Amino acid sequence: MEQETISAVDAKFEAQKIAFAPIFFQAIVSMRDLGVLEYIYKKRGKAVVADIHKEVGLTKYAVDVMVEAAEVMNVIEIIDGKAKVTKVGFYLLRDEMTRVNVNFMNDVCYEGAKEMRASLEESRPAGLKVFGDWPTVYEGLSKLSTDVRKSWLEFDHFYSQDAFDAALEIVFSEKPDYIFDIGGNTGKWSFKVCEYNKDAKVKILDLPGQIAMASKNAEERGFADRIDFHPINMLDKNQLVPKGADAIWMSQFLDCFSEEEISVILENCAQAAGPDTYIYIMEPFIDNQDYPAAEYSLVGTSLYFTIIANGNSKMYKIQVMRDLVEKAGMEVVEEFPLIADSYHTILKCKVK
Ligand SMILES: C[S@@+](CC[C@H](N)C(=O)[O-])C[C@H]1O[C@@H](n2cnc3c(N)ncnc32)[C@H](O)[C@@H]1O
């Protein structure tokens, strides 16, 4: 952390940005969803501010407040009465990571965010009540409304998807025949495995609701004979991971748990692993990202875990995970940092 050099005037301004952040956020989401930002973008610097309302079918008042908000947030600039989308505005309109993050915040996190304090004090996802009465979001995933689930899945997949192809190369360098995909969710990774290697088989282990969704997807994709399913609650010490895997794969899974719970899960993996089984942990770690936008998004994601997911998990720093691996009687035999320019690092582990 560098010594702070900010002036008092600027510091006070930064503090106001935090104070007004929730309603500025909603103003920009509305501006995007009502088509105002797109209209300004398409006019390429020639959108006459006084006329925008007529073109987009809104009142002058509605456009004025959004445009003024966007201008102070540096989403648009206005020169001689004409509006133009800035680089920040361009990212809000066209960048996939930004789209996925904004929708996730708006659809999944926003309403429950007011329960942050209760979540922190009571170590439970107090904001989850806006969707249903479940102890964690995972029991409710298959029951979320279509829109909310879409935003949740797009967010989840965006971060792991790019890494999957490079990860396949890493995992298959050991020629596994049978891969266990713990926390396999909708089956995305398992389907990739089946497409990548025509002989490999996969077992998806997840909570019962997820298994039902994943097996339906597998059926539809024609992989029913290559993938089998094992409903399991990995937090229940009595539910053991079966033996027989050549590789145990966990992608964006361990960040769904507290450090104590990760220990329980890794010990369960260790008991299932034979001397030739590799355990792969693929995670976006906070402290080895190339870009500040990535680190910022991951730290923000921890707050989603606080209010909606389970109230006790987060995105981790890499050393924390290395230590938990050691504690579970395993060792990290190789590390693959930020594979394929993604956000993810793979820790390849083995029992000691
Ligand atoms: C963030 S998703 C990971 C999805 C996928 N592996 C990927 O990389 O995109 C976490 C998955 O863990 C599952 N999960 C959460 N808690 C679990 C538990 N206690 N036992 C088994 N699976 C669990 C969820 O149902 C969900 O499918």
Mean pLDDT by 10 residues, the chain (352 residues): 86 97 98 98 97 97 98 98 98 97 98 98 98 94 93 89 91 98 95 96 95 94 96 97 98 96 98 97 96 95 98 97 98 96 95 96
Structure tokens at 5: 């050099």
**What is the CATH number that goes with domain 8-94?**
1.10.10.10
**Shortest-distance atom of ligand 1 to CA 234:** 20
**CA dihedral sign, ordered 227, 228, 231, 233:** negative
* Other Cβ atoms closer than 10 A to 194: 22
CA of 288 to the centre of ligand 1 (A): 23
CA of 271 to the centre of ligand 1 (A): 20
pLDDT at 341: 86
Which of these, 300, 334, 330, 332, lies nearest to 315 by C-alpha position?
Answer: 300
pLDDT at 160: 76
pTM assigned to the model: 0.91
Residue with tokens 């909603």: 26
- 3-state class of 175 per DSSP? coil
Q: Contact at 8 Å (CB) between 200 and 179?
A: yes
- Fold type of domain 98-351: Rossmann fold (3.40.50)
Nearest CA to ligand 1 atom 9: 157
Ligand 1 neighbours (beta carbon < 6 A): 138, 141, 156-157, 160, 183-185, 188-189, 206-207, 210, 232-235, 251-253, 256
Amino acid at 54: K
Intrachain domains 8-94 and 98-351 with the same fold: no
Q: Any idea where the domains of the chain sit in the sequence?
A: 8-94, 98-351
H/E stretch holding 116 reads: helix 116-122
CA of 206 to the centre of ligand 1 (A): 6
CA-atom Rg of the chain in angstroms: 23
pLDDT at 50: 97
CA of 253 to the centre of ligand 1 (A): 5
308-319 core/surface letters (b: 16 or more CB in 10 A; e: else)? bbbbbbbbbebe
Q: Which residues pair with 85 in a beta bridge?
A: 76
Torsion over CA of 137, 138, 140 and 145, rounded to 10 degrees? 80
Q: Contact at 8 Å (CB) between 281 and 254?
A: yes
pLDDT at 2: 67
